[in-house]
Structure 1
Amino acid sequence: MNDPQDQSHDPYETTETHLERLLGRALNSFDLPDSTIERLESALAHSTALYSSHHSASLHRTTYRHTYLLPDGTAPSLWELVHNSGRDGTEQHELYLEEAEARLAASRLPSGPSLDWTVERSDGTTSEEDDDLEVLSALLARPIPTQPRMYVPDNSADHARRVLRRAENADRPGEATARRLRLAFAHHITQAFGRHCPVEGGRDAGFTLYEHQFLLLDGSELSLWEVEHTATPDGRHMCEVYEEERAAREAMESRARVR
């Protein structure tokens, strides 16, 4: 089936050509496991379906699901996020193995839903007029409400590897943690915090905190705390990963104080 977002290509292109096009235009194709690519290269057929679409004055965001039929009868998917949030507004493509990862990536786009988020005060009211730094500090100090663990067995060890791989902070988890996470067989992702606030230069920066919870083969649990923010000199997205919630929250507060 032809790619509905690109009518310039042959509707009868082979599955091999289709996969090559996806990988060639994706900014993050290097993050996909080699084993997955090798499996998809043996696909007998493919189909593409529009999964979601969002258009506003400044942001265009679309998600596609590309499904492949393999010789063993399985039908794995690639989730493609297409958006125009780059520096010059050009169309950009990203590929993910999991729907949840594609949705998280979409939520991190600078003009996405987080721009409209409000925060809750301790008295239960909301306000956008509070001082951003005070609000951020107060929210970072609040514990996350207990939520049920809904682990999903979905290539979790590789998911952990990719989370650690994109971390840019010097004090990211080390090899000992990476070895433990090779035993992960299920995981759950929780968004713990999201907020925009002013930083140096008078611009807004986005801060998002995720907990990646892993269930290991020995029955133990382990979490990685991922901070996504744009408090960088050029406004680009940066990922930091910590083993402890407190360290992640302190890192966000420290970045927010750079004005």
Structure 2
Amino acid sequence: MNDPRDHSHDPFETTETHLERLLGRALNSFDLPDSLIERLETALAHSSALYSSHHSASLHRTTYRHTYLLPDGAALSLWELVHNSGRDGAEQHELYAEEAEVRLAASRLPAGPSLGWTAENADGTPAEEDGDLELLSALLARPIPAQPRMYVPDNSADHARRVLRRAENADRPGEATARRLRLAFAHHITQAFGRQCPVDAGRDAGFTLYEHQFLLLDGSEVSLWEVEHTATPDGRHMCEVYEDERAAREAMESRSRVR
């Protein structure tokens, strides 16, 4: 059964066409595991259902669960996030293999149009706009509060592979790190920083820093530091990945100086 709220396609489309349509419009379909796509391509039937919806004056965010019946009787799901937080409010689609991933993606969306961010000086007076970069640098330098690491065994080696694959920075972790992370069997994601700030005249950019912590089979721990930002010339969303926190924070500070 197709979702009755979605009138953009033939309600009697085949499962093959339905999957092709989802993958074709998703911005991040390349992040999905190849093994998952191969299994989904054998699906016999599908069903789509609204999972959650949020609408405000400026933000529209909807999550759908698409479930596929496979020849062996198993069921697989794709989680689709539809939102209008992109440039010019255009509708965007993202696909995830796990409910936890789509929840995390939804939590990263801005609450609405950014009005810039302000801060106070020590005496309570507003900080000057010229001090924005200095204030951002100070925030970036703050240590992360200690938090318990609650590792979750959830196809962690593949999660590490996808984090590394979406990194666009030339100095991203190399093959040695990728080989170590093939031994990951559990992971934990922590948001270490998130802020909107002006980067050029009339435009704000979002900066978010995540620590992906991995527990390996030999008992050791490895972290990847992922920087997500829109401080690109055209406002495009970009991901960068670093092996240590300091390099990630220095990259954010550097990107904030676009203007």
- Flag whether TM exceeds 0.5 (same fold): yes
Q: What do the CA deviations read for 1:205-235 (whole angstroms, capped 9, x no partner)?
A: 1110001111112221111000011111111
> For the residues of structure 1 that align with 2:92 and 2:239, how far apart are their CA atoms?
19
Q: How does 1:38-117 map to 2 (within 5 A)?
A: 38-109=38-109, 111-112=110-111, 115=114
Comparing 212-221 with 87-96, which one deviates more in the overlay?
87-96
Q: What do the CA deviations read for 1:143-172 (whole angstroms, capped 9, x no partner)?
A: 111112122222211111111111111111
* Amino acid across the alignment from 1:80: E
1:146 partnered with 2:146:
yes
Which position in structure 2 is the counterpart of 1:228? 228
Contact 2:114 2:204 in 1 (8 A): no
> For the residues of structure 2 that align with 1:128 and 1:156, how far apart are their CA atoms?
45
> For the residues of structure 2 that align with 1:96 and 1:120, how far apart are their CA atoms?
36
Q: What do the CA deviations read for 1:230-249 (whole angstroms, capped 9, x no partner)?
A: 11111111111100011111
Q: What do the CA deviations read for 1:156-203 (whole angstroms, capped 9, x no partner)?
A: 111111111111111110110011111112211111110111113342
**Percent of counterpart pairs with the same letter?**
85
SS at match of 2:50: strand
Contact 2:119 2:127 in 1 (8 A): no
Contact 1:119 1:127 in 2 (8 A): no
Which position in structure 1 is the counterpart of 2:241? 241
TM-score, L = length of structure 1: 0.86
Which position in structure 2 is the counterpart of 1:167? 167
* Amino acid across the alignment from 1:236: R
* Amino acid across the alignment from 2:257: R
1:200 partnered with 2:229:
no
SS at match of 1:132: helix
Contact 2:199 2:257 in 1 (8 A): yes
> For the residues of structure 1 that align with 2:46 and 2:196, how far apart are their CA atoms?
40
TM-score, L = length of structure 2: 0.86
- Per-residue deviation, 1:71: 3.8
> For the residues of structure 1 that align with 2:257 and 2:14, how far apart are their CA atoms?
52
Which position in structure 2 is the counterpart of 1:187? 187
* Structure 1 residue ranges without an equivalent (≥5): none
SS at match of 2:75: coil
> For the residues of structure 2 that align with 1:127 and 1:73, how far apart are their CA atoms?
65
* Amino acid across the alignment from 1:193: F
* Amino acid across the alignment from 1:48: S
Q: 1:132 to 1:104 in 2, by over 3 A?
A: farther
Contact 1:2 1:10 in 2 (8 A): no
Contact 1:188 1:214 in 2 (8 A): yes
Q: Matched residue pairs, number?
A: 256
Q: 1:128 to 1:2 in 2, by over 3 A?
A: farther
Superposition CA RMSD, Å: 2.8
SS at match of 1:76: strand
